Structure 1
Amino acid sequence: MFLISHMLLVVQAECIKAVPLYSNASLTYCNQSAVAQQESYCHACEAMFPLHKSMNEMCAFNSATPTSYISANLNNFAAAMTFCRTTFKNIVFNYPTDPNVILASTSTTTYIGIGAGVLVLVLIVVGVVIYRRRQQAGKSTPATSGSGGYYSNNGTPTHGSGTYKGTTTHGGSVANDIRFDPDLARFRIPQEHIQNVTLLVKGGYGVVFRATCHGEDVAMKQLLPSKAKDQHAIQEFMNEIRLCARLEHPKIVRFVGISWSTLHDLAVLSEFMANGDVTDLLKAERKRSPKDRVFLWAPRHNNFGTSKTAVAADVADALCFLHSFMPTIIRRDLKSKNVLMGANWDAKLSDFGISRVASNDNTMTSNIGTVAWIAPEVLTGGHYSEKADIYSFGVFLSELDTLESPYAEMTEKNAGGFSNARIAMMVSEGALQPTFTDVVPSPILDLAQKCLSFRDVNRPTARDVAATLRALCKV
């Protein structure tokens, strides 16, 4: 029994060496040639057949795997090779003359111990995947960033007066890799079509550039090089891109497309909003004397293109759209920084990095967003719904009115400022709410107070909020 166990461990050890090579070379890339339509994916097929032999020997495919599994895989690879040869006619690929030879020889093998063998192989593969992900996470180190340009896939900033280009290496993959999603294939933009790239802003997780694409100004967002090595960060970024591709509404920043040369330089492109975010607009207003301010609740006869009421109504319209999905999409991070202004001063929601679809679970993660905008039920880690967005909208109305971040007067150091933890505790207990000025219009104050109700059932719906604000815009 010991000898059998020892032999099994030796086989498993050799299999562990073979699985990553096989999966990287074939399962991840060769099999996706027709979707990616790239020469580099076709070259991955060249490595597949020699490694297939190693998998047979080291992982006992012939004695432990149903013939249908092998047949299905080899048929897929044969189809991939046919596509590559047909599409890239000027390239000579090092493919077997007839992949069916391997299929035929494999299918004549006697299959024994199918149940136990498959279980062992599955456990080995799962173990290898987990081990490799942990290794990659452990090796993730911050990369030095520059002051401008875009990030190429090697983590170095490139000044972008020309076109945006990376290398042709594949750079790994993740589960549900967006690059191989057939529903998003039509949105792919070749990197050479992205020009005049200049840095706009860099944050803790990503960097945003301004660029041109097919004659249109666009914003291009990428993960920081250090985050682009983090499997979880990449997966979250892909989830954000998938969500953005679904959201087509006049009050949500328009999704333009995606671009990449590798996993690590994946970028999402959206329409460029010429007048920045509402936070910057509020900062500019603070610098003006009260009599010279132009961003008001009710528009007056001047050259400024919008009003606070109109901006709030635009955002409420966007929330109506998000909350109309089944299941509902919860914005979760609604604040002035994530409301952008177009060239005509129309307001649109942006940055859906932490938005999520409502689940049937009792709780959803609460350690997200910024404390000041988070609803009490979220702060306590309890169940929450789209009504959490309505609370955040009430805080946003406070920002518009005071021109300040919520609780700014409490967090200033020279006033013995409160910590975020203390503010969160007070909000979660219903002991603290954002303030408003003495000159806020009474209909706006009444609406804000309803939105900020401690109990979510007492808050209005997004549709009710939008209707109220649209009516006020006509007054």
Structure 2
Amino acid sequence: MGGIVLVNVPTSKPLPIMTDTLQPMLRMLWFLLHGILPLAAEATYLIATYYSDDVCSSSYAYQVHAVDVVNCTSLTCSNGEMSSTSRSGDVESTECSTDYVANMTSTLSDSSYIIVLRFEDNNCSTLYYGYGTTELGECVENKYQGGYSISTLNKDGSADLEHFTDSSCSVAYASETANSSAVATHECSSSKYVWYTGSAQEFASNSNGDAGTSFSSDGDVGTSSLGSSHNMNRGGEYDFPPPSRDSSSSDARALTLVSVVFSCIVFVLVAVIIVLYRRLNRQTPVETRSGLWDDDTITATRIPRTKISIKKLLCRGAFGEVYSGVFNRQQVAVKMLLPATRSNLQHVNEFLTEAKMTAMMDHPHIVYYVGVAWDSLSDLCVVLEFMEGGDLRTLLNKYEAERHPVGIDRQKATIALHICHALTYLHSLSSPVIHRDLKSRNVLLNHSMTAKLTDFGISRERLDRTMTAGVGTSLWMAPEVMLGERYGVKADIFSLGVVLSELDVHTLPYAQVKKQCRETEGPRARLWS
């Protein structure tokens, strides 16, 4: 690699403008290149493992997750309450690895397991998300992303993974399956999945010299031995090969790096030209602002991070976590991004956009916004009013379990009225706001059963007469939103109708229809996404 060559240019006059401009620009280019070149290194993955004991023993590992992150932080045996349904004694451990397959398989190798890898590309070379569990045939909570699932390893060597919206795994919304060949060869499926399986019995028998095929006798939740298609390594464990990668992937990575470096050089040259033009024309450079970080609403409601005390994890979703906390001696709810996304500027900006949207709301039936706080990018949090009664969906699940009478009573009618007041406020603003994700989970209750709307993460001001972005939760989405057609505030009214149906019968939308379909088609009927 050649260095930068400085050439003495003979001139009759000094060039102060060139000297003052080029030197800082060259320094900027140097820092940019040193920040970009590490991208050529192999990707690092965050491996999150959950254990049922308190010392992180490998034999007690029951769930593992893998995700590609920019900045990875290891955490050994953290005794935190990872979700509202975490079992007593559960602990979490995270580590950073460049070989997520070997790490995940070795973590779960003391038990029978299924590992499902989801990729972003058709060649299965860029990992989107990895999930593994030893709790086969059971309805288990996804500790990292939320939701519930059942993993099944069938006696014929095939495998299934079903996703559910509820803790009893009665309402399915998606499923994946792989035949025995796909499981055995770890081939990249057309839906961008790669599967790995193994069993403790299989490892034990193979370590004694038996490489035959064995099956469990527990019906469909059996574990199949696929040992003959893998090589053994020390300790009797299988050395699972990584997902197949195109030879072009490394070339593409190098090409991307070259493109970025070239873009940086062009950027610096353009910046030099702009600065020279402005100085030569005696124009004062215009100072730019750093977006949402300097937004008037955000800065006006910023509170000291040191005054917020985080207490207990209340829930974890696909993109964030909500903790109970204390601010100014009052209990509050503290919303934060997931650790894996806190360094992602896009997620941070979207999070700040949601905070700004919530801060603009002033209504007794919308969750009160206290403020936003941060000391650094990684500890950004939004402080909200604490709602002791939880969400409406939890209340309706309780009603269902206790066989509470269906129909609309005074309390349900009051909750419905509160939701209507909140929607009327949103739709009556000078720039009407469409919530776009109205559902029972986003209706919170306080100790006096007052209902308030929350979660404005995908809400938008209706800048045009209609919009076409299909966002929201499918069971509550209006047909025109699902079809990607134009829609307006009426989409919220459709979602309100679904919530009213939940208030009436306590169950999720279409739950009875899905139950009838399962009874008609058999216990293995699946709802494909």
TM-aligned CA deviation for residue 181 of structure 1 = 2.4
TM alignment of 1:88-99, pairs within 5 A: none
Aligned residue runs from structure 1 range 6-25, under 5 A: none
Aligned pair partner of 2:527 in 419, 436, 440: 419
- Quote the Cα distance in structure 2 between the aligned partners of 1:354 and 1:384: 15
1:209-237 CA distances to partner (integer Å, 9 max, x unpaired)? 00010011100000001122322222211
CA distance in 1, matches of 2:314, 2:73: 18
CA distance in 2, matches of 1:53, 1:281: 69
Structure 2 counterpart of 1:257, from 340, 347, 371 = 371
| 1:53 positional shift | 7.0
SS at match of 1:345: coil
- CA offsets 1:220-259 (integer angstroms, 9 cap, x no match): 0000011223222222111101101100110000000111
Give yes or no for contact 2:465–2:488 (8 Å, CA) kept in 1. no
Superimposed CA distance per residue, residues 262-283 of structure 1 (whole angstroms, 9 cap, x where no aligned partner) = 1121100000000100000001
Post-superposition CA distance 1:323-353 (Å, at most 9, x none): 1123211011111000000111100001111
* Correspondence 1:406 to 2:509: yes
Q: For residue 156 of structure 1, report the CA deviation from its aligned partner.
A: 6.8
Q: Which residue identity lines up with residue 287 of structure 1 in the other structure?
A: A
Q: Partner residue of 1:445?
A: none
Report the Cα distance in structure 2 between the residues aligned to 1:269 and 1:196, rounded to whole angstroms. Answer: 11
Partner of residue 298, structure 1: 409
Map 1:39-438; keep pairs closer than 5 Å.
Answer: 55-57=21-23, 59=25, 141-142=45-46, 144=48, 176-290=290-404, 293=405, 297-299=408-410, 307-360=411-464, 363-366=467-470, 368-412=471-515, 414-415=518-519, 416=521, 419=527, 421=529
1:235–1:146 CA distance, 2 compared to 1 (3 A): farther
1:362 CA drift (Å): 6.0
Offset, 1:59: 4.4
Which amino acid in structure 1 is aligned with residue 409 of structure 2? A
Evaluate the alpha carbon distance shift between residue 248 and residue 337 of structure 1 in structure 2; reply closer, same or farther with a 3 A threshold.
Answer: same
Deviation larger for 184-193 or 275-284: 184-193
Q: CA deviation at 1:187?
A: 1.6
Secondary structure of 2:342's match? helix
Q: How many residues align?
A: 281
User: Does the C-alpha gap of structure 1 residues 146 and 239 become closer, same or farther in structure 2, counting only changes over 3 Å?
Assistant: farther
Q: CA deviation at 1:288?
A: 1.4
SS of residue in 2 equivalent to 1:229? coil
Give the residue type in structure 2 aligned to 1:339: V
Q: Is the contact made by 2:309 and 2:326 (CA closer than 8 Å) also made in structure 1?
A: yes
* Other structure's SS at 1:348 match: strand
Equivalent residue of 2:322, what SS? strand
Shift of 1:54: 7.6
Cα displacement (A) at 1:179: 3.1
Distance (Å, rounded) in 1 between the aligned partners of 2:505 and 2:362: 32
* C-alpha RMSD over aligned residues: 4.0
Closer/same/farther in 2, CA of residues 231 and 289 from structure 1, 3 Å limit: same
Name the CA shift for 1:420/1:392 in 2 (closer, same or farther; >3 Å): farther
Counterpart of 1:179, as a letter, is: W
Asked if structure 2 preserves the Cα contact closer than 8 Å seen for 1:331 and 1:389, the reply is yes
1:251 partner amino acid: H
Q: Does the 8 Å contact 1:141/1:226 carry over to 2?
A: no
The 3-state SS of whatever aligns with 1:226 is: helix
CA distance in 1, matches of 2:289, 2:72: 22
Q: Distance in 2 between matches of 1:194 and 1:177?
A: 25
Q: Distance in 2 between matches of 1:275 and 1:373?
A: 22
CA pair 347-146 structure 1, distance change in 2 beyond 3 A: farther
Q: Is the Cα contact below 8 Å between 2:439 and 2:496 reproduced in 1?
A: yes
Q: 1:58 to 1:258 in 2, by over 3 A?
A: closer
**Cα gap change, 1:419/1:192 in structure 2, threshold over 3 Å: closer, same or farther?**
same
1:59–1:189 Cα change, 3 Å: closer
Identity of aligned residues (%): 32
Distance 1:135 1:247, change over 3 A: farther
Cα deviation code 1:281-335 (max 9, x no counterpart):
0011011134xx5x86233xxxxxxx11110110010001111123211011111
Cα distance change, pair 142–248 in 1 and its aligned pair in 2 (3 A): farther
Letter in 2 for 1:385: G
| Alignment-mate amino acid for residue 23 of structure 2 | E
Which residue identity lines up with residue 473 of structure 2 in the other structure?
A: T
Query: How far apart are the structure 1 equivalents of 2:385 and 2:296?
Result: 23
Distance 1:185 1:378, change over 3 A: same
Q: What is the one-letter code of the residue matched to 1:258?
A: V
Residue 399 of structure 1: CA displacement? 0.8
Distance (Å, rounded) in 1 between the aligned partners of 2:336 and 2:361: 19
More strand by share: 2
1:159 Cα offset (Å) = 7.5
Amino acid at match of 1:388: A
2:46–2:72 Cα contact (<8 Å) kept: no
Cα displacement (A) at 1:360: 2.2
> Does the 8 Å CA contact 1:140/1:229 hold for their aligned counterparts?
no
The answer to whether the 8 A contact 2:297-2:359 is kept is: no
The letter of the residue matching 2:292 is I
> Aligned letter for 1:315?
I
Structure 1 residues 398 and 277, CA gap change in structure 2 (3 angstroms) = same
- Classify 1:273/1:247 alpha carbon distance in 2 versus 1 (closer, same or farther; 3 Å): same
Hey, what's the Cα distance between the residues in 2 that align with 1:60 and 1:195? Answer: 44
The answer for unaligned runs of 5 or more in structure 1 is: 1-9, 12-51, 62-120, 148-152, 162-173, 300-306, 422-475
1:59-103 CA distance string (max 9 Å, x none): 499xxxxxxxxxxxxxxxxxxxxxxxxxxxxxxxxxxxxxxxxxx
**Pair 1:245–1:160, CA change in 2 (3 A):** farther
Distance 1:60 1:381, change over 3 A: same
Q: Distance in 2 between matches of 1:58 and 1:231?
A: 25
Q: 1:145 to 1:269 in 2, by over 3 A?
A: farther
